[in-house]
Each structure stands twice: as C-alpha cells, then as structure tokens.
Amino acid sequence: MENLIIAPSVLSADFANLGSEIHMLNESDAKWIHIDIMDGMFVPNISFGFPVLEAINKISTKFLDVHLMIEKPERYLTQFKHAGANLITVHYEACTHIHRTIQEIKSLGCQVGVAINPGTPTMVLNEIIQLVDLVLIMSVNPGFGGQTFIPNSIQKTRDVKALANKCGNMNLKIEIDGGVSITNARDLIAAGANVLVAGNFVFSSKNPKLTISDLLKLGE
C-alpha cells in the first residue's frame, strides 16, 4: 500500500526530552505525528493541551494529527487549529451534534476525522462517513497507552472500508489507534487501514526510526 501512513503517538514519548523526540520523528519515515488530547472526563486520564501542541508545531515538519478525547470538543476547535492541528478528530460519543461539529472543523480549514470507541458499532457512521476525511477506530479503550489490541478491530476495519466504498468516499483514511504492532499491522492493512497509530511500540523500541520503517514496509 503506497499510501500507508505511520503516525507515532507522542503520548508514549519521553516528555523530559520531547524536543529531541520530535526531531527524531522529523528524520523518520513517519508522515504524521499523532497527538492525543485527554481531559480527564471523556477518558480517565489527562494528557496535555494547547502549550504542548504549540511547542510541537514549532519544531515539527510533519502533519499534525490531533485526536480529541474530550467532552464537548466544539468548545476548543478554533484554539486547536491555531495551535497547529492539520487534522482534528473528534469522538462520535462526545458530540451531541456531530454533523455540526464536522462542518465547524471544515470551516476552519482543517481535515476532519471521527473516532469510534471499541463498544461503538460502525453503523453510527452511516450518516456522516461521506462528510469526513478520516475514521479512527479505537482498537483499545481510550485513555492510556500500552494496552492490548482488541482483535475485533480488524473486522470493524473491514466494515468501515465497505461502508466507505458503498457511499463513494474512496479517499477515506481509516486510522487504527491502540496496540498496533508488527503482529497485527499486516492484517489491519489487508482489512483496509491506511493510517496506523503506534505509540508504545515505537517509542519503547531500541531504534524507533527503524521500527517506523519496518511498519511502513508492511504496506508494500
């Protein structure tokens, strides 16, 4: 798959050396950097906010893939755009008026994604999949890095791919976030995934740049 994108998640980076971690990603084969924003309400964890995103944006040469795991994300869309987000993904479960939120993100000039949790069926995307640039399938329960991959995520990937084909959104990006590794990446790609988020698997490896390259080769 020539268009496979590896998006390392900085949630697993060494925050005492965040600048050097971003420079490492700049030199890697990763096309995107995945940035998880958590509010301690929608998920049981707090990560970071605008100042860290702004700092990453100042030194990153990559596309910034911002994943909002927060309640009522529509309150902060403009700030995330100004902080450097190229793509803003919101959770279906966190948006009372998901269609309106999608339109607001588009009006800011950002690409737009919608994420679904492991317990959310793909059919909720029926009315909006033709409007978005990306669907993010959570392959772990959101909130913490280093969790075990949920195998049913592969079938959910197939289902989203089929839904995209049915509605004619042939350019849809299907992103998988949680527990991605060499052991499941090939099956995910075969199912239709073209963006793989890898956090702990990349940053805990002895050679993160090589690990990113190895994941990318699986799409060839």
The SS3 call for residue 18 is helix
Dist CA 82 CA 105 (whole Å): 12
The pair of structure tokens assigned to 137 is 């399938």
Please tell me which residue in 39, 65, 177, 214 is annotated as part of the active site: 177
Q: State the burial class of residue 108 (Cβ atoms within 10 Å of its Cβ: 0-12, 13-18, 19+).
A: middle
The SS3 call for residue 8 is strand
The pair of structure tokens assigned to 52 is 């860290």
Q: Any catalytic annotation for residue 177? A: yes
Could you tell me which of 191, 193, 158, 188 has the C-alpha nearest to residue 172? 193
| Cβ within 8 Å of residue 211, ≥6 positions away | 198, 201, 202, 205
What single-letter amino acid sits at 111?
A: Q
Please tell me which residue in 36, 39, 65, 133 is annotated as part of the active site: 36
The SS3 call for residue 182 is helix
- φ, ψ at 15 (rounded to 5°): -75, -15
Cα 95 to chain centroid distance, Å, stands at 17
Q: Any catalytic annotation for residue 39? A: no
| Residues labelled catalytic | 36, 177
